[in-house]
């Protein structure tokens, strides 16, 4: 079975939030930043990918068995792994490039969880208090805690979420820490942590299932902590909800904001190394 994942559209115009994939000579946006899975793709002059891929939009589908899908087809980009947990290949179909993706079993439950029953009642989730320390200089904003985070009472509790691994790489030399040590690490680094949403209806953990959101008082947090000079969104959904529910409440002297690639394991087409490189902006801002 094939399931729509995204559409990739070549462009020569730089886009906000694009990530550079050095291995491919490609700048691409996050297809999860919009409701229709649109991914803009800007190629370097020396990019070695096929000219057809660089000049023609392609549709990408998730498949269960990539090897079986390739049998009898004209493969124009051989199977490769852009990041842990995912294999991709391109085939030619009726003169057009088509991307096929296969996620491993551990990622599949995250990327494509079992659909809730038609009569499933959404649960009203309530988020955490912010982690700020005494004088934070940077604020990181997620969307809302996952089911596992709510169960454990911890930010980013899912073991496949890359958030804490990235923070440890930035601020503890990569040394794995316990949760209490992680919180202390952020406080010492001047990094505050919160979510855009205070409450919402949601079945499961997917941001796409969020209904009736209520935002946190982020403007109030910024008033209480004028030392915060920069805010970063963990992914496109947090940025979108912030723009819809929070932006109009901010003072004129609000800190600068920027979106970073989601650390969610569902964002599997971007490697950990690329996520870490983008998230280094947090370390730089905290040191200013």
**Residue 229 belongs to a domain with what CATH number?**
3.40.470.10
How far apart (Å, rounded) are the C-alpha atoms in residues 129 and 112? 30
Same domain? For 186 and 63 the reply is no
- Across the range 256-285, mean pLDDT stands at 88
Same domain? For 105 and 132 the reply is no
Same domain? For 106 and 150 the reply is no
Q: Between vectors from CA 175 to CA 173 and to CA 181, what angle results, nearest 5°?
A: 105
Same domain? For 136 and 271 the reply is yes
Same domain? For 130 and 255 the reply is yes
User: Is 94 a residue whose pLDDT tops 70?
Assistant: yes
Domain count of the fold of the chain: 2
Query: Where a domain ends, among 54, 81, 111?
Result: 111
SS3 content of the chain, % helix, strand, coil (to 5): 30, 30, 40
Predicted confidence band at 153 (pLDDT cuts at 50, 70, 90)?
Answer: very high
User: Is 44 a residue whose pLDDT tops 70?
Assistant: yes
How far apart (Å, rounded) are the C-alpha atoms in residues 113 and 167? 27
**Which domain, by its residues, includes 90?**
2-111
Same domain? For 273 and 165 the reply is yes
Residue 116 domain flag: no
Same domain? For 90 and 129 the reply is no
Specify the residue for token string 């209520």: 214
**Single pTM value for the model:** 0.70
Query: Where a domain ends, among 111, 138, 156?
Result: 111
pLDDT digits (tens, 9 = 90+) for 104-136: 765 554 444 444 444 445 578 899 999 998 899
Per DSSP, the three-state class of 163 is: helix
């Amino acid at each position: 079975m094939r399931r729509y994942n995204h559409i990739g559209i070549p462009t020569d115009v730089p886009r906000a939030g694009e990530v550079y994939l050095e291995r491919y000579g490609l700048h691409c946006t996050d297809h999860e930043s919009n409701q229709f899975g649109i991914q803009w793709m800007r190629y370097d002059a020396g990019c070695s990918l096929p000219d057809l891929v660089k000049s023609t939009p392609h549709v990408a589908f998730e498949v269960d068995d990539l090897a079986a899908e390739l049998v009898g087809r004209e493969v124009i980009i051989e199977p490769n792994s852009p990041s842990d947990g995912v294999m991709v290949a391109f085939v030619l179909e009726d003169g057009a490039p088509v991307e096929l993706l296969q996620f491993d079993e551990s990622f599949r439950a995250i990327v494509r969880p079992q659909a809730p029953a038609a009569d499933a009642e959404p649960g009203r989730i309530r988020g955490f208090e912010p982690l700020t320390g005494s004088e934070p200089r940077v604020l990181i904003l997620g969307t809302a805690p996952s089911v596992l985070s709510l169960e454990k009472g911890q930010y980013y509790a899912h073991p496949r979420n890359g958030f804490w691994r990235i923070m440890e790489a930035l601020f503890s030399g990569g040394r794995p820490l316990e949760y209490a040590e992680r919180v202390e690490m952020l406080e010492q680094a001047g990094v505050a942590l919160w979510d855009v949403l205070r409450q919402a209806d949601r079945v499961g953990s997917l941001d796409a299932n969020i209904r009736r959101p209520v935002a946190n008082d982020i403007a109030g947090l910024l008033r209480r902590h004028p030392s915060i000079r920069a805010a970063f969104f963990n992914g496109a959904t947090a940025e979108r909800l912030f723009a819809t529910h929070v932006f109009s409440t901010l003072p004129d002297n609000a800190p600068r904001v920027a979106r970073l690639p989601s650390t969610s394991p569902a964002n599997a087409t971007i490697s950990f190394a690329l996520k870490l490189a983008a998230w280094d902006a947090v370390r730089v801002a905290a040191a200013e």
